[in-house]
Amino acid sequence: MDNRQTASAAVSLGVSAACAALSVFCGRTGFFSFFFLLPLGFAAFWGGAQTAWACGITAVAVNLIISFSLYIYRSGDPVFLQWRALYFSVMVLVFTWINAPLTRFTAALDIPYRIIAGALVCAFVMGPAFLSLAGDPRMHELVAGQLAALSGSAPSGDFSVPAPEELLSSVVYAGLRGGILAVSMIFLWVNRQIAAGIVRILRRSPARENLLAFHVPPVLIWILSLSLGAVLAGRLGEMELLDIAGWNILVISATLYFVQGGGIALYFLLKAPPLVRMFANVGIIVLFFAPGVNAAALGLLVLLGIAENWVPFRAPKQ
């Protein structure tokens, strides 16, 4: 029995070390940087909570050592290195907490609530970094160079290239009004789902979580209505903080209703004939590659989730 425990501990240690190294590698390469949380998710689903936290803490420590070394030996930009190290550390620790919560209360929360809570932490911590980089003159020079290259490669008369200041101002405007929060939620959710899918395929095990039973509390419809009122009041009264708060609450409410609408759609899809399910799966894949269509589909799922406040779609028939 002791030999088995020792072997299991060795495997867990090896998985956490390998996934931590892969996470740091992905985070420092441009092409794979979107998936630097994926190895951490794999460690969590494969080895459990202890492996997840060992992997996350190791990844943060290794990345801090590399950042400090680059600062000393390459005379790197200290501001950029500090923000980059903070971004990596916050995202890793938040993602690890989502997959391996530390208390019973957080473990009892549904995954959508944990992802929203983690995204709020990320947005709160990284908001100042976002504003700092957007106001950096070097960022303006970089954006100006990219826009000049874009305008030179495009046929004349196809579209007008905005000024760097105008583009960065629009990005900051959208980012503060739910953009950072929405991107953080998508980033956390996509990496988590891919990691869970890989482990499920390797172990040939069924899905652990089921969104069929996910329901938001009825009071959320009032929070959604108040957020719309806050956005309107902020616009009319030129109160920027109220406008920003209203948009972020609106994004959170719409996300929860989107998850509920997805559960409703999945509920009806599982009751459909196999041929209908096959066409539906093909349609879902097509949606990812049709920007206008998938935006409309996302809006329909949000409306479907809202409609369940009055129509019990998933209630068993008597």
Q: What is the pLDDT of residue 223?
A: 93
Cβ within 8 Å of residue 175, ≥6 positions away: 130
CA atoms within 13 A on the CB side of 126: 23
DSSP state for residue 205 in the 8-state scheme = -
Residues of the chain with pLDDT under 50: 1
Q: What is the pLDDT of residues 260-305, one digit of tens each?
A: 988 888 888 878 777 777 776 666 666 656 666 667 778 888 898 8
Q: What is the pLDDT of residue 286?
A: 64
pTM for this entry: 0.83
Question: For residue 96, how many other CB atoms are within 10 A of its CB?
Answer: 26
Q: What is the pLDDT of residues 72-102, one digit of tens each?
A: 776 656 666 677 888 899 999 999 999 998 8
**Considering the chain, what percentage of its residues have pLDDT values greater than 90?**
29
Q: What is the pLDDT of residue 160?
A: 63
Number of H helices, E strands in the chain: 13, 0
CA pair distance 286, 272, nearest whole angstrom: 20
Q: What is the pLDDT of residue 120?
A: 93
Q: What is the CA radius of gyration of the chain?
A: 22
Shortest CA distance to 255 belongs to which of 214, 292, 290, 312? 214
Question: For residue 302, how many other CB atoms are within 10 A of its CB?
Answer: 21
CA pair distance 280, 136, nearest whole angstrom: 46
Q: What is the pLDDT of residue 22?
A: 93
Q: What is the pLDDT of residue 37?
A: 93
Q: What is the pLDDT of residue 158?
A: 52
